[in-house]
Amino acid sequence: MKRTLYVVIPCYNEEEVLPETTRRLAGKMASLMERGLISVKSRVALVNDGSKDRTWELICACHRDNPLFCGIDLSKNRGHQNALLAGLMTVKEHADMVISMDADLQDDIDAMDEMVLKYLDGCDIVYGVRNKRKTDSFFKRVTAEGFYRVMNFLGANTVFNHADYRLMSRRALEGLESFGEVNLFLRGIVPMIGYRTDTVLYERSERFAGESKYPLKKMISFALEGITSLSVKPIRFITGLGFLVFLASLVMFVYILVRFFTGNTVTGWSSVAASVWLFGGLMLLALGVVGEYIGKIYLEVKHRPRFIVRSFLHDQEQEEQEKR
């Protein structure tokens, strides 16, 4: 029995690249169907994440012209991770497996073939891993690789050089659905699901058109989101630092007492000023880290919806067949 594949693509202001993306995906899906790897019921779901350009208009046009393409329109911009989750959860009941990827064509769509084969071989999750970054600038390559190393060092375990290009089975998606975090970091959550996993290596290409949605500032914010959502190591570092400072203060206390009883005390503002600045900075840093976690708790306990789907453009004939 042929398996149904859905490809989920979050889109935010992607009108420049979307025509080429849909053209290439149509060819790839047709190829997979001809080879008998996927069912003719397979689809591509384009998720509009509150775009300000003509992205949704183009998605609607794609759906009218070709039933291969579905459209999911979110009520407002929710961010890449929430838009991706919205797409995964919306198509979960229609698919046996789902591949998520970005719209910019930097992920090699030819790697989908090997992902599907590994799924048919029994894998529930297949990660697309970049084996080269030739097209990235030196700065981009260093910061991106540093991003993964820092994340793993601070306890947010991720797959090195893997973004959001992955295949997940319906069983894996049901496992993902059980994670109720409002602060989403899918690159760290998906490895927690378990089940049999594998990787597919591919070479990262240049963005076909448009601008990157992850400049340095947003990447740093994304890293902080992942670290504080998945790990308590930063708080433990502060605890350890506080213990070391406490030991140092005991040593200084003994030193001051010795100087006092030997009559060698020297008054001066330098040591006092340095101590005030040092401990003041440490306390502000500690408050900032703890405040970040408290902010996460504040958002989590509200249980607000992570996304709201305004409309879902889907093949009605296919829906009726599935209900039968």
pLDDT of amino acid 324: 44
Which residue segment(s) compose the domain that 38 sits in? 5-230+306-323
CA distance 101 to 109: 9
pLDDT of amino acid 130: 85
The one-letter amino acid code at 9 reads I
Tens digit of each residue's pLDDT, the chain (324 residues) = 789 999 999 999 988 899 999 999 999 999 999 999 999 999 999 999 989 989 999 999 999 999 999 999 999 988 888 899 999 999 998 999 999 999 888 888 999 999 999 999 999 999 998 886 565 666 666 766 676 677 677 666 778 778 889 999 999 999 999 888 777 788 888 888 988 999 999 887 665 555 555 556 666 666 676 666 666 677 777 777 777 776 776 676 676 667 666 766 556 545 665 566 667 667 767 777 777 777 777 667 767 778 888 889 887 545 444 444
Which pTM value belongs to this model? 0.72
The CATH number given to whatever domain includes residue 126 is 3.90.550.10
For residues 293 and 168, state if they share a domain. no
CA distances from 106 to 74, 111, 133, 241, 283 (A): 24, 12, 11, 41, 43
Domain count, the chain: 2
What angle in degrees, to the nearest 10, is found between the helix axes of 18-34 and 111-120? 40
For residues 149 and 280, state if they share a domain. no
Query: CA dihedral defined by 116, 82, 155, 163, rounded to 10 degrees?
Result: 40
For residues 244 and 222, state if they share a domain. no
For residues 28 and 156, state if they share a domain. yes
For residues 226 and 241, state if they share a domain. no
Q: Which of 221, 40, 218, 184 is nearest to 100 (CA)?
A: 184
For residues 189 and 105, state if they share a domain. yes
For residues 224 and 237, state if they share a domain. no
For residues 146 and 204, state if they share a domain. yes
Q: Which of 218, 216, 237 is nearest to 154 (CA)?
A: 237
Q: Can you give the C-alpha Rg of the chain in angstroms?
A: 25
For residues 262 and 200, state if they share a domain. no
Residue 224: Cβ within 10 Å count: 14
For residues 10 and 90, state if they share a domain. yes
For residues 150 and 52, state if they share a domain. yes
Q: Could you write out the three-class secondary structure of the chain?
A: CCECEEEEEEECCCCCCHHHHHHHHHHHHHHHHHCCCECCCCEEEEEECCCCCCHHHHHHHHHHHCCCEEEEEECCCCCHHHHHHHHHHHHHHHCCEEEECCCCCCCCCCHHHHHHHHHHCCCCEEEEEEEECCCCCHHHHHHHHHHHHHHHHCCCCCCCCEEEEEEEEHHHHHHHHCCCCCCCCHHHHHHHHCCCEEEEEEECCCCCCCCCCCCHHHHHHHHHHHHHHHCCHHHHHHHHHHHHHHHHHHHHHHHHHHHHHCCCCCCCHHHHHHHHHHHHHHHHHHHHHHHHHHHHHHHHHHCCCCCCEEEEECCHHHHHHHHC
pLDDT of amino acid 72: 94
For residues 191 and 270, state if they share a domain. no
